[in-house]
Each structure stands twice: as structure tokens, then as C-alpha cells.
Structure 1
Amino acid sequence: MAKIYTKKGDTGHTQVYLEKTERLIKSDEILTVYGDLDELNSNIGLLISVSKPPNPLLSTIQNALFEVGFAISATTSLTIEDVAAIEDEIDRLSTKLPPQRAFILPGGTVSASHSHICRAVCRRAERSLVALSEKHQIPAVIMQFINRLSDYFFILARYENATNGVEDVEKISR
């Protein structure tokens, strides 16, 4: 039986597969992006587990996030059509929502709250990608995909609340 641990990372370094295999310190910006994407993917898995009925787009997004990681490693199969699919879903869900008249705070149903967590983690991953893009080439489609994805999670949270008869949690003016 193969063991999951290799002990090679015990010194704070790990191997990554970029255009060529490299050994990087675990605080490298590339690994920060990988970690943020992994956290986002894990939170999407949690959102899937609480969503009723199941949302098949979320599984597609999970797979697409691996393509974002692959893009950092120099290859990806993500296309502008993947961005367009998210935009189409944002537009579809938006037509079923009341107009937004105030800032919305995270909350409402469990699934809406988890969607807000996904949005926040997605935005952090985007900031990490932007920082990484200052030193490494990141395909434009990746930046578009991640940016649209945070919008999707915001609209999804609103939709989850609306379809469950729960009003958005609006920021109270002082």
C-alpha cells in the first residue's frame, strides 16, 4: 500500500509542476493561489452538500477550478465559453430575484450563507491570482472566470434565500 506522506515537505518546501518541475518554499505565491483555490473548492463541496435540490453547475465549477490551477502550471482547457456559462447562469438566476435596494450582508439560509463563504474565498483567490500575475503569466480567461465566479456566488446566495422564502439580510443604515 502506498503511503500518502512522503516526508519531502517536512522542511517547508514542496514540488510543483510548472513548465518544468520545481521545488518551492510553501509560502510561495503559487502555493498561496493553490491553497486559496483548494479552500474555495472545499467550500463549494460543502455548499453542494447543503443545497436542495442539488446544483449540477457547482460540480462543474469544482472541476473548472482544477483547470485554473493547471493554468498556473502552463496549461488549461478553460475557455471563454466557460465564463459565458457562468454569466448565463447569473443572468438566469437574476431574473428570478427582486431588485437589490441595499447592501446585502451574508446570511439567510444555510445554503445562502455557504454561498457567501464561497464568494468571499473566491475573492481572496482572485486577489492571490492578481498578485501572482505580477510575476507569472496568467491567461486572461482565468482572471475572467474567477471574477465572474464571485459574482455567481453572490447571486446564488440571493437566489437560495429567495427560493426558500427568506429575505436577504440587508445592511441597516445608521
Structure 2
Amino acid sequence: MVKLDVITTRGGDTGDTSLGDGTRLRKDAIRVEAYGEVDEINAALGILRLHLAGDGEADAMLARIQNDLFDLGADLCVPGAGENRLRITDAQCLRLEAEIGAMNAAIPPLASFVLPGGSIGAAHAHLARTITRRAERRAVTLADAETINPAAIRYLNRLSDHLFVLSRRLNENGAKDVLWVPGATRG
């Protein structure tokens, strides 16, 4: 169980922070950026959930995802491959795939790219999706520099797909999608 009784420690006042294993690292290190962006996804999903009044299924999916994101943050904040560490798993990635498939089954195929919008919920899902893509890029950069759990990158990739399909579901299964019109503003 996690117990946080002291929040202000002053430990980061010089630009360093502690990783999950106690190692000190600069706050602008790639690893810290990667799990910080995962935290940002979680905050964006918290806002999205506020706009899902009456949609218990979507809220339940997002609640599971928010918990997964804490697992992912714990995974990324501890370097190395220790056996007893909390890691994101392929089972969590597969659950996202199953949810994507179930949502997408009720949505007609796209004839164009989708612009973020249509509904408040869909717009917030798109914002969370773009934050997820940024977190995925940072995780890839981290993986180029250090060994990380490969499921972490897979999870972020699936999550961005999940949020895209969720945005369409929140737009009345695509009926309220705002479609890109190529060249529409060229004059």
C-alpha cells in the first residue's frame, strides 16, 4: 500500500527527483519526461470522464485505463528489469484491443480523416489521444537510450487507438464526426 504523508519534501528544489528505486535524476531526463507525460494523459482522462454523464461503460473503461496509467508510470519510473516490480503487461494491451474492437464494431468506416470535435467528450478524447502520442514518442526515445519494458510502448500505441475510437463512439458512433475536407480553405 502506498502511504504519502509528507508531500512537500524540498527534495526537488534543485531540479532533481527520485525514481521509484530511490535513484536521483534530473527532472528533464527522458525517463522523467516519459512518465510525466503518462501522468498528463491521466489528468486529461480525468477531465474527459467529467464529460461522460450517463455513459457508465465509457467511464468504466477510462477508470481502468487511469489505473493502468499509474501502473505504466510505476513501470517507467523504475529502471531495470527487476522481477518484483510493477510493470504494464500484455494482458492490459489485449484488453484495450478488445475494447477497441467492441466499440469499432458499431461505427461505420471512415471516408476521411476526423477533425477533433463534434462533442465535448470527443474533443477531450482527441486531446488525450495527442498527449498519448507524445508520451509514446518519449517512451520510444527512452527505449533507444535504455532498456524498458516493450509492453509500455505497445500500451501507449493501443491507448491512442482506443481514444480515437472512443472519440468516434462519443460522437454518436461517428454520426457527429467532423470530417477533414482536403484543400477546403485554399481559396
Length-normalised TM-score, structure 2: 0.85
2:69 to 65, 68, 86: 65
Alignment RMSD, CA only?
A: 1.5
Cα distance in structure 2, aligned partners of 1:166 and 1:64: 30
Cα distance in structure 1, aligned partners of 2:96 and 2:162: 7
- Give identity over the alignment, percent: 35
**Equivalences for 1:1-150 in 2 at 5 Å?**
3-18=6-21, 21-52=22-53, 53-54=55-56, 55-72=59-76, 73=78, 74=80, 75-150=85-160
- The number of equivalent residue pairs is 170
Unaligned runs of 5+ in 2: none
Shift of 1:77: 4.2
Residues 87-127 of structure 1: CA distance to partner in whole angstroms, max 9, x if unpaired?
Answer: 11111111111210001110011000000011000000000
Shift of 1:166: 5.0
**One-letter amino acid of the counterpart of residue 26, structure 1:** K
Unaligned runs of 5+ in 1: none
Q: 2:178 is matched with which residue?
A: 169
Aligned partners of 1:109 and 1:166 also within 8 Å: no
Cα distance in structure 2, aligned partners of 1:142 and 1:6: 29
**Runs of at least 4 residues of structure 1 off by over 3 A?**
none
Length-normalised TM-score, structure 1: 0.91
Residues 27-80 of structure 1: CA distance to partner in whole angstroms, max 9, x if unpaired?
Answer: 111110121011000001111111131320111111111111222214334322
